[in-house]
Each structure stands twice: as C-alpha cells, then as structure tokens.
Amino acid sequence: MVSTRVPIGHAPPQFGIFNSGSSFPYSIVMQYDIQTLQRAVPMLLAWFCENKRDLPWRKNRTFYTALVAELMLQQTRVDAVKEKYVAFLEKFPTERELALAPEDEVLKAWEGLGYYTRARNLKKAAETIFREGTPRTWVGVKSLAGVGDYTAGALSSIALGLREPAVDGNVLRILTRFFADASVVDDPAVRKNFTCLLKQVYPDETADFCEGLMELGAIVCIPNGAPLCEKCPWNGLCLAHLRGEEERYPVRAEKKKRRVEYLNVYVLKCGGEYAIRKRTEGLLKGLWEFPNEQTSAPVAPSAKVGKLLAEKTAVHIFTHVEWRMRGSYIETEEKDPAYLWATAEEIGRSYAIPSAFKAFKAWVI
C-alpha cells in the first residue's frame, strides 16, 4: 500500500511545476528565469546537505520547537539564539509548559534576546496550539500571534512540508543577485513576486530548500561586503556574479533616520539592594529597568541624594530609536519606596532587565 504520510519538512508529490495556480505577473517574460531557477534548486539542496551548520533547532524538530526557533530568530543573530534556544526548551519543553507558565518567567527566559513582544507572542501562540492543536495550513500558521508572512512560510516549509516560501531580506538579496534584478526590495510587491516565483520551483524537500536559502544568505551570499561567490553552488548561474556586479544588488530605498533619545539612568544601591521598577508603557513595557529619566538633549544627571560611585555612558540602538544614556552608580542612605529593592541575586534570578541597560547592569551583576 502506498503511504500517504509525509515526513516532516516534505511536501506531498505535485505534478508539473507551473500548475501551482499562482499568478506571477511576468510569467511569460520570466519563463527563462523560472527554468534557470528550476535548475538551481537541486544544486542548492545538494550544497545544503553538505554544508549546513549544526544548529540546535535542526534536531528533534516539532512544530513547537520550530516556532520557538523562528520567533527567536526574528531580528536576532543565529549565534545569540543558539544558547538561549536550548535553555528555553529545557525550561519549556512543549507548548503545554509554555502556555501554563507565568509571563514574568517567560520574559526572564527571554532576557538578552531583546524585542520582548516576541516572547509574549510566543506564549500566546503556545496557548493557541495547546488549546487547538498544531495548525496544518499556511493560513492557520499565519493566524498565530507573532507570525507574519515570512515566519508563516518558514514554519509551513520547515515543520509542515508545505510549499510556502519564506522571503526575507536575505532571500531577496540572493534572488535579486541571481537575476541581476534592480527592483527596490523594500517594495512589498517585489517580495510578493519573488514569493510567487519560488512557489513555482518549490521541491518536495520543502524544509531543506527553505533552510538552504537561509543558509546561503547567512554564510555565502552575505550582506555588507563581498559575497563568497567561490563557495556558492549557484555561481555558474547567478547573473550578478557572471557580470561581476554582485554588490550592486539588492537595491534599497533610502532609510529613514532613527530618532535619538537621551536618558539619565541611575543605579541606586542601598544596603546590598538595588532599585528597579517595571516599565508601564511604551518601548519595553512590562520589563524591569533602573530608574531613569528622559531628557531632550545630553545633560548632566540631576542631583540624586547619595554618594556617586561611578559614571559611564552607553548607546543602545532599537529599530526606530537610538538611546544615548548616561549612567550614574549611586549609594544612597534611604530606600525610596517608589522602587522595588532587590539583591543582585534576585535580579539575576527573577527580573528581566532588557539589554539596553546591559552596561549599567554590569555594576550590579
């Protein structure tokens, strides 16, 4: 009997490559390109098989573990995620433990990864899966908290064996170089077009193809500087490479400038305890911080009662905002009741302080 079960990360057989029902708008003009890309697919799969990095989320994969990895990897480098991912899964091995955990515990386990909304979304998504089961379609995956088009594609391809491309800046860089395509990649229509194009050549090995593209973008067709074309399985097909113009692509729209905010940060110490407070609004809401005040320009710290032990400055860059901080380490005689006072050990164990304050946390822990 022929089994209808499909291993994780594999699509069921589909007949013909141009019958996916997609409406790639340049389908006639692009016929050559589709065929070229079709030839490139097995080359990438073979290359990925030989060269893939040994990453923890590539072992014993379930939908839940893939979800944890993909949400952690949104806006965070692979190296930073590796250790956090393992520790997080030790604490919350399945969606059940994560769904039932207090939010503060989840935020603590997320500490250091930044962009804490992702941690809250991950918990919400785990609650949904725990309640309703694992989704089976791209639409079902996309409806989970924190999952956009890219992550829905990644999870569908990697954990469900669906032919659903995941197109992010890395994949756009690879494809615009491959086709020497000068489209402005920030335009959502360009992303949509490349998604349709990829869909038409998607192989049965959906997980390996999806991760193969990610891997190529991470270790060969790299951003910022010359790509390592001599190591690329596509160097005989890539138009930008054949023309010696790799670094002309991708073409990007001009970036908006980040808003600069100035903060005075106070690390207040009293009898072996430190003052912290919970942020109640805006950026980093719900996380813990050292008392601070925002100023409209760089100024010296306002006088706080106590003995000044040290001072330093630090900069933290968020997506749209840059914090320029001036920190003062101060020993006080009295504990201001406006704050929660905790020992270094308690802060380390129970209170998530975002990495924006890392330079000042070093005075404490």
Q: What amino acid positions are annotated as catalytic residues?
A: 70
- Give the number of residues in contact with ligand ADE, rule: CB under 6 A: 9
Neighbours of 282 (CB within 10 A): 7
**Taking the complex as a whole, how short is the minimal distance between the CB of residue 67 and ligand ADE, in angstroms?**
11
Question: Does 160 contact ligand ADE by CB under 6 A?
Answer: no
Tokens for 108? Answer: 């603590």
SS3 state of residue 340: strand
Residue 77, CB half-sphere, CA atoms under 13 Å: how many?
A: 4
> Under 8 Å CB-to-CB from 3, ≥6 apart: which residues?
none
| Residue of the chain from 33, 70, 181, 208 that contacts ligand ADE (CB under 6 A) | 70
Q: Is 188 exposed, middle or buried (0-12, 13-18, 19+ CB in 10 A)?
A: exposed
SS3 state of residue 35: helix
Considering the complex, state which of residue 151 and residue 183 has its C-beta at the smaller distance from ligand ADE: 151
Considering the complex, state which of residue 82 and residue 279 has its C-beta at the smaller distance from ligand ADE: 82
Tokens for 276? Answer: 């912290």
SS3 state of residue 45: helix
Residues pairing with 218 in the sheet: none
Question: Does 214 contact ligand ADE by CB under 6 A?
Answer: yes
Question: Does 111 contact ligand ADE by CB under 6 A?
Answer: no
| Residue of the chain from 154, 263, 268, 342 that contacts ligand ADE (CB under 6 A) | 154
**Taking the complex as a whole, how short is the minimal distance between the CB of residue 78 and ligand ADE, in angstroms?**
5
Question: Does 129 contact ligand ADE by CB under 6 A?
Answer: no
Considering the complex, state which of residue 181 and residue 208 has its C-beta at the smaller distance from ligand ADE: 208
**Taking the complex as a whole, how short is the minimal distance between the CB of residue 154 and ligand ADE, in angstroms?**
6
CA distance 316 to 319: 10
Binding region for ligand ADE (CB under 6 A) out of 17-25, 210-218, 313-321, 337-345: 210-218
**Taking the complex as a whole, how short is the minimal distance between the CB of residue 74 and ligand ADE, in angstroms?**
8
